Amino acid sequence: MKTAEEFFNILKQKFGDSIIELKSGVPLESFIIIDPLKIDEVCLFLRDDSELKFDNCMNLSGVDDANGKKEAQADGSSTIVGGTISVIYHLESVYLKHKVTLKVSAPRENPQVKSVAAIWRSADWHEREAYDLFGINFINHPDLRRILMPYDWEAGYPLRKDYKNPEFYQGMKVPY
């Protein structure tokens, strides 16, 4: 049963700069921050290495960090400028029974993250959901389109903190 520090050390040795930092001490789990464009190489190593063998991606969630600057708009609402949007991966190994949490952060204006759908097929739909609700573009994803919202929803990405509902959708009034 390895701890987060050991994973961090193993990864740092192999990948150097792509592994940015280990954030621990925050309740309740420590997570490893990784460069968004190198995440697929790191995950391939995590899955295939015989000591680590992370063969199950339990969860993949987008998070809007909301750490940018709030700018007020004309109609009283506010948008957030700058800051990051993150994706958090929870991996586990069914046979070796350990878990690790990874985090990648991408700039809010144009979040680009490498897709891990080819490594764990469960990430396929999770990444589609992150794209649908946050607008994160996953490079190399086999079929990136909206999954929960209607396919022609053009009013943005609902789970962002500064999301506003549109007035009309296909002729129907949205807010009531």
Partner 1 sequence: MSFETKKNITVYKPAVKTEEMILNMGPQHPSTHGVLRLELQLEGEIITKVIPHIGYLHRCFEKHAEAMTYPQVIPYTDRMDYLASMGNEFGYAVAVEKLLNIQVPERVEYIRVIMAELQRIASHLVALGTYGADIGAMTPFLFCFRDREKILSLFEMTCGARLLYNYIWVGGLSHDLHPDFVRQTRDFVTYFKPKIKELNDLLTYNKIFIDRTSNVGILPLDTAINFGISGPMLRGSGLKWDLRKDDPYSVYHKFDFDIPVGEGKVGTVGDCWDRYYVRVLEMGESLKIIEQALDQLPEGDVSSAIPKRIKPPVGQVYTRVENPRGELGYFIISDGSVNPFRVKVRAPSFVNLGVMDVLCRGHMVADIIAILGSVDIVLGEVDR
Residue ranges that bind partner 1, judged by CB under 8 A: 26-29, 31, 55-59, 61, 63-64, 88, 90, 94, 97, 101, 120-122, 124-126, 133, 146-150, 158-159
Residue among 20 and 147 whose Cβ is closer to partner 1 = 147
CB of 148 to partner 1, least distance (A): 4
Structure tokens given for 75: 């109609």
CB of 19 to partner 1, least distance (A): 19
CB of 121 to partner 1, least distance (A): 5
CB of 162 to partner 1, least distance (A): 12
Residue among 37 and 142 whose Cβ is closer to partner 1 = 142
CB of 13 to partner 1, least distance (A): 26
Residue among 31 and 138 whose Cβ is closer to partner 1 = 31
Residue among 31 and 131 whose Cβ is closer to partner 1 = 31
The DSSP code for 91 is: E
CA distance 89 to 57: 7
For the CA atoms of 90, 43, 30, 97, the dihedral, rounded to the nearest 10 degrees, stands at 60
Residue among 37 and 63 whose Cβ is closer to partner 1 = 63
Residue 46, classified by CB atoms within 10 Å of its CB into exposed (0-12), middle (13-18) or buried (19+), is buried
For the CA atoms of 8, 129, 159, 56, the dihedral, rounded to the nearest 10 degrees, stands at -30
| Per-residue buried b or exposed e for 146-166, using 16+ beta carbons within 10 Å of the residue's own CB | ebebeeeeeeebebbebbeee
Cα end-to-end span (Å), the chain: 52
